[in-house]
Amino acid sequence: MERRQLLKSSLAFLGTTTLISFVYPASKFLIPPKSRAKETQLTINKDEIPPGTAKEVIFNETPLVLINRKGSGFIALSRICTHLGCLVGYDKFNDKLICPCHAGEFDLEGNVLSGPATKSLPRYPLKITADQITIG
Amino acid sequence: MWGKIIHWIEVRIGLEELVNRHLRQFKTPKGATFWSTLGFVALIAFIVQAVTGIMLLLYYIPHPEHAFKSVQTITNEIPYGWLFRLIHNVGGNIIVAVIIIHMVHVFLRVSYKKPREITWVSGALMFLLVLLACITGQLLPWHQTGFWQTTVTSTIPSFLPVIGEGISSYMRGGESVSGITLSRFFSFHVVILPVFIVGLMLLHVLLIRRQGLSTSPSIEPDAADAPPLEEFRREPHPDGLPCFPQFSLKRSFMVMLYFTVLFFILTFFPNLFLPPEANIQADPLLTPESIRPAWYFLAPYQLIKTIPNDVMGISLVVIFSLVLLFWPFIDAKDAGRNIRRRPMLLSLGLTVLALWAIFTIWGMYS
């Protein structure tokens, strides 16, 4: 190998190594840290949510809506619309959940009724006692 | 494949022509040594500060309640966050050292003489702005060291009669260091000062490109023999070596040396510029036992401490800064550039350097 070629190859190798040494930590640096929020339970008094009403809560950093459906009991659904992530709101007059961004509609089981969303709203497990409801 | 890509870029950008015109045809004078590359090293060091600073901005929160925690998160939780924080911290100190050595070299070569007065002034102004960037940057992590260093720094101008209180209040945005001070220092550190520094840097580089690098005084003929400079004249150095590849290799070596020093400190002395108080959140009601400024401020700090009259101490520092800034206009006589033939100038330069070193060491141990 000629001396000039050796020098060029060495420079290319060193340059690439240097670049990777910077790009690798830089790309790792851009990954956000995992949330340190602990998996906890959230307990709410039943009398805070009369039949036909809903309560918006934050559970482990996720916005949820806890609905007391007439005749069907309690259900906890994620408020994050499965279309583009806006927060859905409870429409007590029509018994459905509506996304204000693109008019997506969900029933009180979280299933899509209309609009651009294709997936149902995630449902959260509940433990119901005589006076209280526990999410998680 | 690689050749095709290079050709594709070459046809559109003309890199070869660019390199030829700006690097191969740009000649460096005989006697251009490794010392002559320090300006370029300072430029690279500034770019390193800018890149790491932008990266830290992705997670830093400039609010008194969140700033310390966000910096701790960067250091302890974000992958490689410690690396970028330390590079920014250590790099900030190295850039000051590089600029000081660069300025001493330019002074000893008397390269600030006509027609390079503006080059010196722009460089000296850049140095002062870099120091300001260091002052504003030390508060941002909202730790005890930075908080109390800022308290002391922003109190010093208040000793000046008439305008002193106004300057202090302007710096802090109030009576004491608070969230408003943090917002101010943040905007100065991140936007205002870098914009001015980059502007001055462009002017500095433009002047060097227009005038050519200054020749070593030991090679240049005496001023008495040279024709008087009455119109713009570029120094093309026809007998010098091309900037690329010869001088560029010297630059590359010095840039590698800069990175070597940076990573040596990072590896073996990571806390060199982070005292223990830098790991404690700022407490406005508790002054740490020992608060000292950064090493490059130790000399003026000790000078102000030593002189019993505060106004006189601060005035001396201000006068020294102004003399440094406008030195080419103070030493404007046509006395030639060889400092060995100017014992007074040489003695003055060495005395100032010696005093600076003495006051720095004194400040460190006082």
Which long-range CB contacts under 8 A does B287-293 form with residues at least 24 apart?
Answer: B287/B148, B288/B144, B288/B145, B288/B148, B291/B145, B291/B148, B291/B149, B291/B152, B292/B363, B292/B364, B293/B149, B293/B152, B293/B153, B293/B363
| 3-state class (DSSP) for residue B127 | helix
User: What is the pLDDT averaged over residues A5-30?
Assistant: 90
pLDDT for the residue B224: 52
- State the Cα angle at B224 between B220 and B225, rounded to 5°: 60
Mutate to test the interface with B, among A20, A29, A30 (most CBs of B within 10 A): A29
Chain B residues lying within 8 Å of A28, measured CB to CB: 79-80
Chain B residues lying within 8 Å of A25, measured CB to CB: 79-80, 83-84
Strand partners, B281: B143
User: What is the pLDDT averaged over residues B283-300?
Assistant: 91
Residue of B nearest to A26 (CA): B80
Q: For residue range B43-59, list pLDDT tens digits in order.
A: 999 999 999 999 999 99
pLDDT for the residue A38: 64
pTM attached to this predicted model: 0.84
User: Could you check whether the bond before residue B115 is cis, i.e. omega within 30 degrees of 0?
Assistant: yes
pLDDT tops 80 at residue A39: no
Separation between Cα atoms, residue B104 and residue B356, nearest integer Å = 12
Cβ B40 vs Cβ B251: under 8 Å = yes
| Distance between first and last Cα of chain A | 68
User: What is the pLDDT averaged over residues B272-287?
Assistant: 94
Separation between Cα atoms, residue B19 and residue B37, nearest integer Å = 18
CATH numbers and ranges of domains, chain B: 36-214+240-291 (1.20.810.10)
Q: In B23-143, where does DSSP find H-type helix?
A: 38-57, 67-76, 81-108, 117-139
Handedness of CA B243, B248, B249, B255 (dihedral sign): positive
Taking phi over 0 as left and psi of -120 to 50 as alpha, with beta for the rest, A61 belongs to left
Helix H or strand E segment including B359: helix B343-365
Strand partners, A14: none
CB contact under 8 A, B78 and A25: no
User: What is the pLDDT averaged over residues B90-116?
Assistant: 95
CB contact under 8 A, B78 and A26: no
**What are the residue ranges spanned by the domains of chain A?**
1-31, 42-135
Handedness of CA B262, B264, B269, B270 (dihedral sign): positive
Half-sphere exposure of B282 (CA within 13 A, CB side): 25
Residue at B227: amino acid letter: P
Give the highest mean pLDDT range of B4-13, B17-26, B27-36, B66-75. B66-75
| 3-state class (DSSP) for residue B186 | helix
Question: Cα dist. A22→A16, A123, B51, B174 in Å?
Answer: 10, 43, 11, 41
CB contact under 8 A, B79 and A25: yes
Cβ B152 vs Cβ B159: under 8 Å = no
CB contact under 8 A, A33 and B80: no
pLDDT tops 90 at residue A127: yes
Chain A residues lying within 8 Å of B55, measured CB to CB: 26, 29
Q: For residue range B156-166, list pLDDT tens digits in order.
A: 888 888 898 99
CB contact under 8 A, A29 and B79: yes
Q: For residue range A83-102, list pLDDT tens digits in order.
A: 999 999 999 999 999 999 99
**C-alpha closest to that of B346 among B108, B180, B24:** B108
This complex has an ipTM of 0.73
| 3-state class (DSSP) for residue B181 | helix
pLDDT for the residue B217: 78
Distance of CA B355 to the CA centre of its chain: 20
CATH node for A42-135: 2.102.10.10
Q: For residue range B60-78, list pLDDT tens digits in order.
A: 999 999 999 999 999 999 9
Separation between Cα atoms, residue B205 and residue B100, nearest integer Å = 18
pLDDT tops 90 at residue B237: no
Higher pLDDT, A40 or A81: A81
Cα Rg of chain B (Å, integer): 23
